[in-house]
Structure 1
Amino acid sequence: MNQAEMILMGLRIWGSIGALVAGVFLTVGMDRIDEDAREAYIFRPLLIPGILVIWPLVLWRWYLYETGREVWARRYDPPRRAHFAVGWMLPLGICAIIVTGLSIRQQWPADIAPERLSAPAEVSQ
């Protein structure tokens, strides 16, 4: 099994688990954690692509709601505390990537002559 097949197998496994989580969460879990979503079935298919991708987060949040460990007052504190640091790290990281890319450019030897490409030959049947 080569690397591309392993990546494809991993994506298939991830998607299969995500489909299973989406099916269970949208039929059973949605009604249990959000009273506004009860009897509202039209919007649920729109959530399937997102659940396929972030199913571990969906399971974690569902677990927190079911066990009662969700603290609404502190729900948005960690993202807000990180805004300042991320606001500086992103532009500095982009500048570092550009500078690194420009400094590691490859230089080709001057004695390599260009080679003319031709169209593929037609196959007669």
Structure 2
Amino acid sequence: MTEAGLILELLRGWGMVGALVAAVFLTVGLDRIDADARGAYIFRPLLIPGVLVIWPLVLWRWYLYETGTERWENRYDPPRKAHFTVGWLMPIGICLIILAGLSVRQTAPTDFEPIQLSAPPETAQ
């Protein structure tokens, strides 16, 4: 099996597990963890793509809510400790990526003789 085939199989497995988690979570789990979602079924298909991608996080949060270890007072408090560091690392990383891309840029072959292109002939209509 090639690397591309292996990656495709891993993505297919991730998607199948994500589809199973989405089916169970959106039919059973969402009602259990969010009282405002009870009886609201129209928006649930909109959540399917997100649950397919981040199903491990969905399972972890669901587990925390079910076991009661979730600290509800911190539910809407985003983690801001790393914002300053990430705010500096991202632009520096972008600059380094651009510089690396410019430094490994290929040059034109020396044995290639360029030719001048001419305009196509006009056709009478």
Pick the TM interval, shorter chain: 0.7 to 0.9
- The answer to whether structure 1 residue 60 and structure 2 residue 60 are counterparts is yes
Partner residue, 2:117? none
Unaligned regions of 5+ residues in structure 2, if any? 115-125
Partner residue, 1:29? 29
- The answer to whether structure 1 residue 87 and structure 2 residue 84 are counterparts is no
Partner residue, 1:20? 20
- After TM superposition, the score normalised by the length of structure 2 is 0.83
Cα shift at 1:112: 3.8
SS class of match (1:12): helix
**Percent of paired sites with the same residue:** 72
Partner residue, 1:122? none
Give me the CA root mean square deviation. Answer: 1.9
Partner residue, 2:119? none
Matches within 5 A, 1:1-125: 1-75=1-75, 79-113=79-113
Deviation sequence 1:66-95 (CA, Å, 0-9, x none): 111111333455631111111111111100
What letter corresponds to residue 26 of structure 1 in structure 2?
L
Distance in structure 1 (CA, Å) of the matches to 2:30 and 2:75: 19
Unaligned regions of 5+ residues in structure 1, if any? 115-125
What letter corresponds to residue 28 of structure 1 in structure 2?
V
Q: Indicate the larger mover: 102-111 or 85-94.
A: 102-111
